[in-house]
Structure 1
Amino acid sequence: MSTKLTPGKLAGLKSVSNERGVIAAAAMDQRGSLKKSLAKEKGVAEMPDSALEEFKILVTEVLTKHASAILLDPEYGLPASKRRNGKGLLLAYEKTGYDAALPGRLPDLLDVWSVRRLKEAGADCIKILLYYTPFEKSPINDLKHAWVERIGDECRAHDIPFFLETVGYAVHGEDEKSVEYAKRKPDVVTGSMEEFGKERYGVDVLKVEVPIQMEFVAGTRAFKGEQAYTRAEALEHFRIAASSTHKPFIYLSAGVSNPVFIETLELAAESGTTFNGVLCGRATWKDGIAVYAKQGAKAFEDWLNTEGVKNIENVNQALKAAHSWYDKVGLKAEAFV
Structure 2
Amino acid sequence: MSETVDRDLTMSRAIVEAIGDEMRENEEVFYMGEDVADYGGIFDSTQGLLDEFGYDRIMDVPISETAYLGAAVGAAQQGMRPIAELMFVDFFGVAMDQIYNQMAKNTYMSGGAVNVPMVMTTAVGGTYNDAAQHSQTLYGTFAHLPGMKVVVPSTAYDAKGLMHNAIRDDDPVVYMYHKRLMGLGWLPAPDGPKTPVPETDYTIPFGQADVKREGADVTIVTLGLHVHRALDAAAALAADGVDAEVIDLRTLVPLDRETVVESVRKTGHLVVVDEDYRSFGLTGEIVASVADEALDALSAVERVALPDVPIPYARSLETEVVPGATDIEAAVRSLR
Same fold (TM over 0.5): no
Normalising to structure 1: TM-score of the pair?
0.29
Structure with more helix by fraction: 1
Structure with more strand by fraction: 2
Q: Which has the higher contact order (CA 8 A, sep 6+)?
A: 1
